Amino acid sequence: MRADLVARAVRLSWFTVAYNIVEGLVSVGFGVKGESVALAGFGADSFIEVASALAVLWRFRGEAGLAARPDLEAERRATRAIGRLFLALAAGTAAASALKLWRQEGPDTTLPGAIIALASLSFMFWLWSAKKAVARGLDSSTVEKDADCSLACIKLSAVLLAGSLLCGLVPALWWADSAAALALAFLIGSEGLETMRAAGRPDFSGGCGCSRCER
C-alpha cells in the first residue's frame, strides 16, 4: 500500500514539474512581451511549484516496497525546503504587486492572463485534492506542504483571472489585482513561516497530522 502511494506521489510530482515548466515559460513570455508584471510574476510562481514538486521527488528517492521506512530527517529537510519556497513565493508576489501599485499600472495583457488562469483552474483542484489524499495515506508533511503549494497556485490563478477580467471590463480598477495579490502574499508568507516552525520543532514527527501512523 505504501509503495503504491509513493509511486502515486512521484507521478503527481512529475506531472506538476512538466505542466508548470510549460506554464511558467508561457506566462513569463507573455508577461514580458506585454509588460505585465502580474503575468510574469505568475510565471515565476510556477517555477516555485516546480521546485516544491522536486522536493517531493527528492524526499522519496530510492524508497520502494512496503518495507520501506519513512526517513524522518529527509522529511524534515524537505518540509523546511518547501517552507522556504512559500516564503520566496510570498516575497516575489508582494514585490511584483508593490511595483505595479507604485507605477500605477494595471495588467497590460488581460486576455492571455485570463486564458492561462482558466487553464490552470480547470484541473488544479484535481491535482490539489489528489496530493492531499496521498499526503493522508503516507502521513507525509512533505506531500502535505506540496499540496498547499498547489492550493496557493489555485488562489494565485483566481487572483490573476479576477484581475484580468476586472481590469479588462473596468479600466479604472487597475489596482484591484495588485491589492488582492498583496493580501494573498501575506497569507502565503504566514503559511511559509508556520511550515518552517513545524520543521524546526524538536517533536517533529514527519507526519501531516491527517492520519495515525505507526513507525
The DSSP code sequence of 12-65 is: HHHHHHHHHHHHHHHHHHHHHHTT-HHHHHHHHHHHHHHHHHHHHHHHTTT--S
Identify the pLDDT of residue 62.
65
Average pLDDT, the chain: 82
What does the pLDDT look like over 98-117, one tens digit per residue? 988 998 877 666 788 899 99
Q: Which whole-number Å values give the CA distances from 50 to 1, 137, 204, 212, in the listed order?
A: 26, 22, 25, 29
What does the pLDDT look like over 4-51, one tens digit per residue? 888 899 999 999 999 999 999 999 998 888 777 778 878 888 888 888
What class has domain 2-200? mainly alpha
Q: In the chain, what are the domain boundaries?
A: 2-200
Cα–Cα distance between 133 and 145 in angstroms, integer?
A: 12
Specify the pTM: 0.76
Closest CA to 158 of 118, 190, 126, 125: 118
* Rounded-to-10 torsion of CA 200, 202, 205, 208: -40
